Chains A and B, each alone.
Chain A
């Protein structure tokens, strides 16, 4: 059964495969943890997961010579070859296999390293069966999401437009490098404004539209460096809407003419350190929600479900006051905080929440 994501043309859709048993490899040097997880996950999946375990990276590599997996779960703190190194190897050899990192001692450095080396989830080891159930649900969500032809970027079903939106809402400065086999281009964002784009010989808005019209490839966020020129002056909201229009218009064209996605993965995570701008403002929290409150991406949300509830409440309230006076379409709520700001924006069946704080500030 396929459950297509609702809303505008989307690059992703959820796929469940009841007939096929999912192949899961879990690599951890803690035998007790492996045995517990194996028993519980097998039961919770109703035998839909075939779990293979390995005590070390080299044992896992041996298994990988003869078995194919849908998901590999790697313990970060393993002796000899640690999880981060192992993830890097896995990402090179098995770029299409989903990967999750798990650790008993989470830190921001580990998280960034794991995500930058191919993990799509970074999970702290739970201390209770309830915690393990949450992990199972997250892993199941990860393994049943299938990326369609489209950009490999960040986490799961978050697309190029979402990243640009987050960078602009967060008033960040960064360079978004986009590439596929035929084209490489860059979009320059400075303090939340799109200031320049180049794609081959094309510059400015045409380059921006061209890059956002691509149907395959990869992208990564780079540290900001000023471009040689400023070729874009328009507001990012309008640029994105125009890009969406162009993309929708070209969506009906033959996919056979589209370039294939790059076989190699670029850095797929949004490393938090890259989001910090130089004027001592740091990104504190990000969430992207889809229709019906589905969480598409979250980073450092203390309670993502509560955030979605707040966003839903904001949207409901905006609709209510929009019925009292003709205010026009609701775009966003800007929240000025004692030491920073937050923005909740609603468009194209997406709700985005970004909170940025001045250095040392609390919400």
Chain B
């Protein structure tokens, strides 16, 4: 995993309310981090894998999402895909600072310069 991307992902943990974060790399591997004991890494990665697999369904229906937000009663899951194929997944508590800054975090990921 790109060092800059790893640092950025770990930095996400600073946002209160973030439960887990992960990236699906272009080779198909998923690298995840759990930031909360209520969101075990294996479970989070399973969810991420499941959502990643569902991505083509949207383009098959004529939708080209910049990002998706799955909103549950207590939790939100954000999925965003970059042009280079990197795909970000974030799980966070609703009504938390992380939720308030979710669009900002996503834009950061989408515009992250990983060439250096």
Q: Which residues of A contact B (CB under 8 A)?
A: 302, 306-307, 309-310, 313, 317-318, 320-322, 324-338, 342, 363
Nearest residue (CB) in A for B62 is A363
A361 CB, nearest partner CB in chain B, Å: 11
Q: Which residue of A lies closest to B50 (CB)?
A: A321
Closest residue of chain B to A309 (Cβ to Cβ) is: B61
Is B54 interfacial (CB 8 A cutoff)?
Answer: yes
Which of B6-14, B24-32, B69-77 lies at the binding interface? Answer: B69-77
What is the minimal beta-carbon distance from B53 to any residue of chain A, in angstroms? 9
Q: Which residues of A contact B63 (CB under 8 A)?
A: 335, 337, 342, 363
Q: Identify the closest chain B residue to A355 (Cβ).
A: B63
What are 10 A-B interface contacts by the 8 Å CB criterion?
Answer: A307-B61, A310-B61, A321-B77, A325-B39, A325-B44, A328-B74, A330-B73, A336-B65, A342-B63, A363-B62
Per the bound structure, the CA–CA distance linking A335 and B62 in Å amounts to: 12
B64 touches A330 (CB 8 A): no
Whether B51 is near chain A, meaning CB under 8 Å from some CB there, is: yes
Contact assessment for A322 and B65 in the assembled complex, using a CB-CB cutoff below 8 Å:
no
> Is B50's CB under 8 angstroms from A313's CB?
no
Closest B residue, CB atoms, query A334: B69
Further pairs besides A309-B61, A329-B73, A331-B73: 17, Cβ < 8 Å: A310-B58, A320-B50, A321-B47, A321-B51, A321-B77, A325-B39, A325-B43, A325-B44, A325-B47, A325-B91, A327-B73, A327-B77, A330-B73, A333-B71, A337-B66, A363-B62, A363-B64
A324, B54: Cβ atoms closer than 8 Å: no
Q: Which residue of A lies closest to B54 (CB)?
A: A317
Check if B47 sits within 8 Å of A334, measured CB to CB: no
Q: Is B114 engaged at the interface, CB distance under 8 Å to the other chain?
A: no
User: Is A310 a contact of B57 with CB atoms below 8 Å?
Assistant: yes
Taken together as a complex, chains A and B put the C-alpha atoms of A333 and B43 apart, in Å, by: 20
A328 touches B73 (CB 8 A): yes
Residues of A within 8 A of B68 (CB): 333-336
Beta-carbon contact of A336 and B66 below 8 Å: yes
- Centre residue among A302, A324, A325 by max chain B CB count within 10 A: A325
How many Å lie between the Cα of A340 and that of B72 in the bound state? 22
Q: Tell me the bound Cα distance from A334 to B103 in angstroms.
A: 12
| Residue of B38, B57, B66, B70 touching A321 (CB-CB under 8 A) | B70
**B46 A337 Cβ-Cβ under 8 A:** no
Q: Is the CB of A306 within 8 A of B69?
A: no
Contact residues in B for A336 (Cβ distance below 8 Å): 65-69
Kindly list chain A residues whose C-beta atoms are within 8 Å of the C-beta of B71.
Answer: 330-334
- Which chain A residue has the least Cβ–Cβ distance from B106? A336
Residue interface bits B17-48, CB-to-A below 8 A is 1, else 0: 00000000000000000000011000110110
* Closest residue of B by beta carbon distance from A345: B71
B114 to chain A, nearest CB (A): 21
Would you give the shortest CB distance from B59 to chain A, in whole angstroms? 10
Chain A residues, CB < 8 A from B50: 317, 320-321, 324
Let me know if B72 and A330 touch, CB within 8 A.
Answer: yes
- A302 partner residues in chain B, CB cutoff 8 A: 62
For the complex, give the distance between the alpha carbons of A306 and B69 in Å.
21
- B54: shortest Cβ distance to chain A, in Å? 5
By a CB distance below 8 angstroms, the chain B residues around A313 are 54, 57
Give Cα A278–Cα B54 distance, bound, in whole angstroms.
35
- Alpha-carbon separation in the docked complex, A331 to B73 (Å): 7
Which of B50, B57, B61 has the most chain A CB atoms inside 10 A of its CB?
B61
By a CB distance below 8 angstroms, the chain A residues around B67 are 336
Q: By CB atoms of chain B within 10 A, which of A327, A330, A332 has the most?
A: A327
- B57 cross-chain contacts in A, Cβ below 8 A: 310, 313
Q: Among B62, B65, B70, which residue has its beta carbon within 8 angstroms of that of A318?
A: B70
Instruction: State whether A327 touches B75 (Cβ < 8 A).
Output: yes
Given A307-B61, A313-B57, A322 and B72 contact (CB-CB distance below 8 Å) = yes
A229–B64 alpha-carbon span in the complex (Å): 40
List the B side residues contacting A307 at CB < 8 Å: 61
- Which of A320, A321, A327, A332 contacts B74, CB < 8 Å? A327
Instruction: Choose from A306, A310, A324, A337 the contact partner of B47 (Cβ within 8 Å).
Output: A324
A327 near B72 with CB under 8 A, answer: yes
